[in-house]
Amino acid sequence: MIKENKILKLFENHPNYNCKITMDDGQDYLVYANWMHNEQLDNWQGWHCDAGHTRFYIDKNFDIWDGECQNKQLGNVLGEWAICTNNICNQKTCTGCTDDLIVKKHARS
């Protein structure tokens, strides 16, 4: 879980929020997703990520990826592909892409 509660409190209920962070204690913070990337609070390596289930990225070769992060290839538009329902993030940090940042993530239990 994000341990930088002091930093998050600075941006609690950010006027341009597009993302909600819920801490283990149930406290919610409304933040701007790119701010998390800029402050290097986007390390979800080993976490469950809904990319590949609720979001896809299709590259110029029609390859389908779970997100712009290209964590996992799901197939190709011109061939076979499958939705990923149990994606684990392998990336050290998330991309600066807002769509990747706002996809639901949660720590593995």
List, in order, residues 6 or more apart from 71 with CB less than 8 Å away.
49, 51, 52, 65, 87, 89, 90, 91
pLDDT tens, residue by residue, 16-51: 888 888 877 888 888 888 888 888 888 889 999 999
Rounded-to-integer distance, Cα 63 and Cα 52, Å: 12
- Would you state the pLDDT for residue 8? 64
Domain coordinates in residue numbering, the chain: 1-41, 45-95
Cβ distance 63 to 81 under 8 Å? no
- Would you state the pLDDT for residue 4? 55
Helix (H), strand (E) at residue 5: helix 5-10
Question: Which of 38-42, 69-73, 85-89 has the least mean pLDDT?
Answer: 38-42
Please report which confidence band the pLDDT of residue 7 belongs to, taking 50, 70 and 90 as the band edges. Answer: low
Averaged pLDDT, 80-107: 90
